[in-house]
Amino acid sequence: MTSSEVLSMYENIAGLTTQMAAAARMGDLDRLGKLETECAGEARAVATGVPALAGAQRLRKIDLLKQILANDRDIRDATDPWINTIPGMARQ
């Protein structure tokens, strides 16, 4: 995997998580689930390992990771009230 492919993958994940956060805020759990499945497929590539980046590419990757984490927080904030109504699913 080239460095540009790595950044493209992270940009795609960031875009998907942005869409997921919007779906979660709107309460569109069907769309959220579909996007989550798509995002998981993209994230599997990260689990197999990606080459280290340097310089500006590394900084871009860090920015994308921060965006992904912020989107994750937004998704959790939007879905926690709903998740907490399901027995055995409450988040700690």
* Residue 43: exposure state from Cβ atoms within 10 A (0-12, 13-18, ≥19): middle
Q: Quote the pTM value.
A: 0.85
Whether the Cβ atoms of residue 11 and residue 62 lie closer than 8 Å to each other: no
Mean of the pLDDT values across residues 35-60? 91
CB atoms within 10 A of CB 13: 22
Tokens standing for 81?
Answer: 């009230």
Q: Is the dihedral of CA 41, 46, 51, 54 positive or negative?
A: positive
Whether the pLDDT of residue 18 is over 70: the answer is yes
Whether the Cβ atoms of residue 72 and residue 22 lie closer than 8 Å to each other: no
50-81 pLDDT, tens digit each = 889 999 999 999 999 999 999 999 999 998 77
Instruction: Write down all domains in the chain, each with its CATH number in brackets.
Output: 3-83 (1.20.58.380)
Whether the Cβ atoms of residue 1 and residue 52 lie closer than 8 Å to each other: no
Whether the pLDDT of residue 14 is over 80: the answer is yes
